[in-house]
Structure 1
Amino acid sequence: MKHQKWEAKFIAVLASEQDVSDIGRDIFVNTSGTPQFSLKIISYEPADFPRDVRYVTCYAEELVKWGFEDNIQDTHLDRCQAVRDFLQDSLLVFQPERRVSKQDFREHYVATNVTLVGKKDNFSDTLSLIPVPVFYEQGLVTLESFRTNLLQRKHVGNNFHVSSNEEDTHGFILFRGKDRKNILFGEFDSHTVAHGGYRFLSSSGVRELELGSLLEEAYEKEGDSVLFFPVNVHEEILEMLNETPPISLPDDAQEAREQAAAGATIEAVETREEQFLEELKRKTKEMGLFYSDDDLYNFHTALKTQSLVILAGMSGTGKSQLVNAYAKALRLPSSQVAFISVRPSWTDDTDLIGYPDTLNNVYRPGDSGLVNTLIRAKKESDKLFFVCFDEMNLARVEHYFSQFLSILETDTRTLKLYNEDLQQRFYNSEQYEPNLTIGDNVFFLGTVNIDETTHQFSDKVLDRANVIELAVLPFHRLLDIEEEKKSRRTEELPYTTEDFWSKGKQPRTVQLTEVELSFLWDMHQTLQNVSLKMGIGPRIVRQIDRYLYNMPDSTPFTRRDAFDKQVVQRVLTKVRGAEDVLLPLVGVYRDAEDTVVESELFQLFNRYSEVSEFIEARMLLIAKARELKRNGYTM
C-alpha cells in the first residue's frame, strides 16, 4: 500500500494522555529529537478515510510558522509541556497523510499543512464538527450566476477543502460575496464532481437563506474554502432551510432558459462520452487486460488534445493492447488502425514515408504503409484512424519522425513527400501528390520500453508528447476481470470523426487559472536557473490547458490530480542528466524516510499546494533522487 494524502481539510484538538493511553504517549520527543504529539479528530471524516483512525500524528515543525519556539536546550519534559501550553487554546486544521514504513509496512497517519484556529468560549471535549463547503464571489462568478447554475443543475466551481466522494454530499453549502454577505443553499441529496467542479442536486428544490449570527458558531481558517459547524448548529440550519420555500428562476429569464437548453446539449454529449468510457473499461476486461481507471481516463483525455501520446512501461504491461482496446471500444475495423513496427536501422524519415526516385520518375512510399494509410484517411475524413508506432524508441525518434514533429502543432498538418517541381515528371503523382494533408481524424501514438537497447527521447519529442507510464496493478485484481471476459455485446456501427470530436474540445482562450499559470512560470524559471536546456515552453502550457479542458465529467481524478499528471507527463520527463546539474532541483535522497530534502522542486510544490498536492510528481522526483544517489545520473 502506497502513501496517500487527503485533500479535504480535517479539524482536531490536541489529544490528552487519557485519550491515547491505549496507543501510546500524547506528547514525547522522538528519536530524531523532535517533539511529536497526537491529535484527536473532531470533524466528520470523508467516506474513504479509515473509520478506525481517530488519532493522527503531528510534529512540532508544523507549529513553527505559527510562532512556536522549541528550545532544544530544555529537558524533554519541558519541551513537551511547551507544546501543550502552545496548543491549549487552539484547534488544528490539517490534511492527513497515510505513510507506510519501508521496514515493516506499518501504516501511520500524519497531519500536514497545519493551521491553527482559536477555541471558542463554549468549546467542550465532546464537540463534534461537520465540514461545509464555501464558494466565493470572484471573477465572473456572482451570487446571481451561482444561484442560476445551482437551479439549472450545472457546475458551480471547484472546492478542494472538502471531500468530493459521492457518499459525502453536503446538506448545504455557503456562498460568500465580496460584501461579506453569507448565503446558504440547500438541502442537497447528491452531487457529482468533474473538471467544471461540483454539481449539487436536490429532490425537494433548492432553498436559500442568509446566514446571520449562527456563523459565529463555525470554526474557519480565513482563506480556506470550508467551515466547520457544530453538529447541533448544523441541524438547526437544516431545519431553518426546510422551513424556507424553494427558489426558482424568474419566468422572464429567457437567457437562463437558453443556457439551460445549451447545458442539456452539453450534458447529452457528456453522457455519450461517459457511455464510451464505460465501453472502454468493459472492453479491456473482456480482452483480459489489466489497467487502472486512472490510466484509461488519462489516455483518453491525452488523445483528445491531439498531441502525440506515448505509452511507456515495463514489458508486458499491455501498451500496444491498450491501443487495440481503445480502437475496439470505438468499434473501428482493423483497417483503420495501423501498427508500425519501428526498426533500429531507421535513420531518417525516408525509412518511414519513402522517397522520390528521380531515376525512374516515381515516388516510392516506405514499406511501413504509413503514407497509404494517411492518403486513405484524407479521402475518408469522416472515419477515425489511429497510427501506433510500436517500440518507438528502437531508433532515434527525432530522426525518422522529424517531419511529423514539425507539423504536429500546426493548424494545417501538411506532410511534404517531395518537391512540387517533380510532380509533372512522376508517373504516380496522381496517387502520391507532393503534399499530403493530415486531418484531425488521424491520431498518432507510440509505445516504448525503457532499457539498454533503446534510445532516450530528445526534448523536441517530449515537448510534443504526453508520456504516460502505465501502472502495474496488484495481481489479485486479475480475478476481478475473469467474470467480465464472459460478457459479450453485439457490435454496433463505428464511431465517426464527428462523434469523437463531440468529445474533443479545444478552448478558444486559455482556461488555466492565474495561480496555475503562476506555478508553471515559477517552475519554468526554476528549471532555467539550473539549465537553459530545461524549461516549459508556451506549447506545453497550451497542451496542459487543453488536457484540463478536455477532462471527462466522469473522470476518477480531480483537476488537481490531472494537473499533477500533466506536470509528470509534460515537464518532469525532461528533468534528467548528471548529479552536479540536477541535485538542486531533485534534492538529496534519504533512505530512512524514502524522501528527499533540499529540493527546489519540492519547495515549489509546497508553495503551490492550492494548485495540487503533486503526489505523482513527488514520487517521480523521489525515484529520480534515488537514481542520482545510486548512479550519479538519472534518465
Structure 2
Amino acid sequence: MAAYYKNNEQNIMMIGQLAEDYIIGSNDKTITPILINKSNYLQFTIVPLSDFPIYDELDDDEIKYVSAYASDVGDWHKDDLMTSNEERIESLRGFLSDKLIIFTPQVRKTDDGHYLVAKNIELKMKNDKFISNTEYEVLPIFREDIQYSRTQEDFEARLFQNKAVGSAHHVRQKENEYPLAIIWEESSAEFYVYGGKDFISSQIYNQNVARYDVDLNKIQKFKLNDEWDRYQYTSENQDILFIPSDRLYPENLDSLEEIDISETVNLFIDEQDMTIASNSVESEVIIEKNNNLNNKENVESSINELQSKELAFINRFKMITQKEKLLYSNQDLINFHTAMKSGNLVILAGLSGSGKSKLVSCYAKALNSKPTLKMIPVQPFWQDDSDLLGFVDINNFIYHPGDSGLVDTLIEANSNTDKMYVINFDEMNLARVEHYFAQFLSVMEMDPIDRRINLYSEKESSRLFNSDKYPPFITISTNVIFTGTVNLDESTFTFSDKVLDRANVIKLDILPFSSYYSERNSESEISEEVIIQNVFSLSEREYRSFRNNDSKFSLSEDETELIWKIHEAMYDINSNMGVGWRILRQIDMYLKNLPNNEELSREDALDIQLVQRILTKVRGSKDQLEVIVGEYENKTIKNSYFFELFEEYSSISHFNKSREAVTKKAKELSMNGYTF
C-alpha cells in the first residue's frame, strides 16, 4: 500500500502535459499515458515541463514523470463508467490534449520505491505559442504587501539590499533553487520582470518570505508586453507565472521595453560592496536574529492593521443597516461579509419583503459612499444567457446588449479596476439560474485572467459597427462581486447542484418585531456624516487585502472527518448527492477568512457552513432521506444519523443551526413526503 511520504512534502507547483507516448520509467518499466487501474479508476501520466524540487531521498529515475487520476479533474471532465474502457480512455485523452496541467507533486512510498502523484490540479488551455515539451521556468509574482513592499520603489530598495521582499508561495525554496527572474505586479495590472544573466546567486526562505542575493551589476528591469501573454500561464492564486525558459534568454528579453534603473542601482552598489567586505559569521548571526525579530514584529503589526481596517468596515456596514432600518443579527451581517469576501457568489434567501435586496445595497454603500451597485431584476422568460447579455443583429451588423445593463456595467468595471462593483440579481430564481447564468457559473472558478464571458463569436467582430464598444468577450475583473436574492415559493425554481456548489446560500433570520423598538430607542438617528467618517470607501486592493489567500489547508482533522462522514451518508443514498472537493475548499476558505470578532465564532461559522454549503443539497423523497435526516414526531427527531454525527463531534460545534435545518427537512418529509 502506498503511503504519503511527509519527509519530502513541499508545497510547490509545477506545469506539465499529458504524456504523448509510452515512457520508460525506473527499472525499465513501461509507463502508459492513460490506463484503467485495478480499482477501475482512470489514471494518466504527466510529463513535467518545469523542474522538480530537490528530493533528497529520491533517485533521478524515480522522478521522470507524475501519475494523476481522472477524479482529480472531475470538476471539468466526467468519467462515464457506462462506456467501454477504450471510450473512457479516448474521452480523457481528447479532453486533456489541448490543455496544460498545473499541479503539486506529492511523493508516495511503496515497498518497491517511490513515485509522484499530482494533486491540487489546475487546467490551462494551451496558448497559440505552445510547443510540445518546451521547458518552463517558474517565476514568483510579488505585489503590494503592507508587511514588506508597499510600493514598487520599496520592493526595489529591499531587493537591491538583499532584504526580504515579500511572500512567495508554491516555488522551490532551497538555497540553490532560485528563479532566473522575478515579477512585480503593479496595482494597474502592469507587470515588470527583473532578470539578467546570473543576477541571483542564492535565495533564503523563512516562512514563505523570500530574500535573494543579487548582483547589482547584472540586474535588468523590463516591462512585460502583450506578447508575453501568448507564452505565459499563471496559477489560480496569481502568485506564480510559468514562462518558457527561452523567453528569459537575453535576445528575447531585449524585445521587451527595458526600464533604466542604473541611477537607483548605483545608490546601493557602494553599500552592497561595503556589506560584503565587512560580513563575518558573528555579524550574520546577529543580523539574522534581528531580522527575524523585526519580521515577526512587522507581521504582527500588519495583521493588527488589517484586522482594524476590516472591523472598521464591518462597523460601517452595521451602521448603514441600522440607518436603513434593517434589523438583522450581527452574526448574520458578519456571515454575509465573510461569504462575500471569500467566495464568488452569495445568494440571500428569505421571506419576501424581508430586506434582502436592501441588505446588498447597504453592503455596496459600505464599500463606497457613492456605491457602484447594479440591480438586475430577473425575468421569468429568460431561457439562456442571450436574454441577459444580448445578441448579434446579423441584418444590421450590430451587437445589441441585453436590457439588463449587465454588459455595460462589466465594461465600466474593467475601466475602473480600483473601484468595487456589486451586481445583484433580484429574484434570481424566477428563471433557471443554470441556464441564463451558465457562462458565469463556469468561469467563476477560473484564474482572473481566464474569467472571460463571450458575447459573440470573434469571427463576427470585424463585421459589427459597434465592436469597439462591445468586444467579443468581457473579462470579469476581481473588483466585481456577484450576489442574488431569492424567494422560495411556488413561483420560483429550485437551484441545481451546479449553482449550489458555487454559492453560499444564506437564509436570513427575522428578528422579533419588538426588537425594532429597542433598536430605535437604544440608537439615536445615525447621520450620514458619522457613517462616512467611520471608515473611508475601499478600493479593490484594500478590500481584497481582507481576504486570506493562504493555500494551506486550515480545517482540523475532526472537521474534515465530520464533512467526510456527511458526504458518505449522502452519497450512499444517491451517487449524485454529496460533498465535492470544491465545496470542501470553499468551506476551508470561508473559515480562514472569518474576521476577528466576538459575534461569530469559528464553531458557529462551521455550523453555518454546513447549512449553507451542504445541507442545501439534501433533497429527495422520504424513502431516500429518512434514514439520515430522521423521523419527525411530536416536534422531535428520532433515528437521525445527522443528529448522531452532531453529538459525536460536539467538541467542535453545538451545531444549533444544522439541527434546525435537519429538523425542518424531517418535518417536510413527514408532511409532504419529500424535501427540497
TM-score, normalised on structure 1? Answer: 0.59
Check whether the contact 2:603–2:653 (CA below 8 A) recurs between aligned residues: yes
2:533 maps to 1:488: no
Q: Deviations over 1:502-548 (max 9, x none)?
A: 21222222221222222222211111001112100111011101100
The residue that corresponds to 1:428 in the other structure is 466
Letter of the 1:381 counterpart? T
Equivalence map 1:347-362=2 (5 Å)? 347-362=383-398
Select the residue among 318, 326, 348 that pairs with 1:311.
348
Structure 1 runs of 4+ aligned residues shifted over 4 Å read: 250-254
After TM superposition, give the deviation of residue 253 of structure 1 in Å: 5.8
Mapped to 1, the partners of 2:630 and 2:580 lie a distance apart of 24
Mapped to 2, the partners of 1:552 and 1:501 lie a distance apart of 13
2:640 maps to 1:604: no
After TM superposition, give the deviation of residue 555 of structure 1 in Å: 4.7
Mapped to 2, the partners of 1:487 and 1:457 lie a distance apart of 38
Letter of the 2:656 counterpart? I
After TM superposition, give the deviation of residue 590 of structure 1 in Å: 2.0
SS at structure 2 position matched to 1:423: helix
SS at structure 2 position matched to 1:553: coil
Select the residue among 425, 442, 445 that pairs with 1:409.
445
Mapped to 1, the partners of 2:421 and 2:368 lie a distance apart of 12
Mapped to 1, the partners of 2:507 and 2:436 lie a distance apart of 23
After TM superposition, give the deviation of residue 316 of structure 1 in Å: 2.0
Mapped to 1, the partners of 2:355 and 2:524 lie a distance apart of 16
Q: Deviations over 1:43-77 (max 9, x none)?
A: xxxxxxxxxxxxxxxxxxxxxxxxxxxxxxxxxxx
After TM superposition, give the deviation of residue 279 of structure 1 in Å: 1.2
Gaps of 5+ in 2: 1-286
The residue that corresponds to 2:589 in the other structure is 546
Check whether the contact 2:343–2:590 (CA below 8 A) recurs between aligned residues: no
2:672 maps to 1:631: yes
Check whether the contact 1:377–1:385 (CA below 8 A) recurs between aligned residues: yes
Select the residue among 598, 618, 623 that pairs with 2:659.
618
2:400 maps to 1:400: no
Check whether the contact 1:285–1:485 (CA below 8 A) recurs between aligned residues: no
The residue that corresponds to 1:387 in the other structure is 423
| CA gap 1:350/1:485 in 2 versus in 1, 3 angstroms | farther
After TM superposition, give the deviation of residue 480 of structure 1 in Å: 2.8
Mapped to 1, the partners of 2:338 and 2:446 lie a distance apart of 20
Count of residues in Structure 1 that have an aligned counterpart in Structure 2: 383
Mapped to 2, the partners of 1:251 and 1:353 lie a distance apart of 57
Mapped to 1, the partners of 2:670 and 2:511 lie a distance apart of 27
Equivalence map 1:128-207=2 (5 Å)? none
2:499 maps to 1:471: no
After TM superposition, give the deviation of residue 481 of structure 1 in Å: 2.9
**Identity level (%):** 45
Mapped to 2, the partners of 1:433 and 1:499 lie a distance apart of 29
Mapped to 2, the partners of 1:489 and 1:619 lie a distance apart of 38
Check whether the contact 1:377–1:441 (CA below 8 A) recurs between aligned residues: yes
Equivalence map 1:491-502=2 (5 Å)? 491=532, 494-502=537-545
The residue that corresponds to 1:454 in the other structure is 492
The residue that corresponds to 1:104 in the other structure is none
The residue that corresponds to 2:612 in the other structure is 569
Please report the RMSD computed on the Cα atoms of aligned residues, expressed in angstroms. Answer: 1.7
Letter of the 1:610 counterpart? S
Mapped to 2, the partners of 1:605 and 1:266 lie a distance apart of 34
Letter of the 1:520 counterpart? I
After TM superposition, give the deviation of residue 305 of structure 1 in Å: 1.2
After TM superposition, give the deviation of residue 333 of structure 1 in Å: 2.2
Select the residue among 328, 336, 339 that pairs with 1:291.
328
The residue that corresponds to 2:125 in the other structure is none
2:407 maps to 1:374: no
Check whether the contact 1:312–1:450 (CA below 8 A) recurs between aligned residues: yes
Mapped to 2, the partners of 1:307 and 1:618 lie a distance apart of 27
Mapped to 1, the partners of 2:514 and 2:543 lie a distance apart of 34
After TM superposition, give the deviation of residue 611 of structure 1 in Å: 2.7
Check whether the contact 2:389–2:401 (CA below 8 A) recurs between aligned residues: yes
| CA gap 1:397/1:557 in 2 versus in 1, 3 angstroms | same
Mapped to 1, the partners of 2:474 and 2:365 lie a distance apart of 27
SS at structure 2 position matched to 1:364: strand
Equivalence map 1:85-124=2 (5 Å)? none
- More divergent stretch after superposition (517-526 vs 253-262): 253-262
TM-score, normalised on structure 2? Answer: 0.55
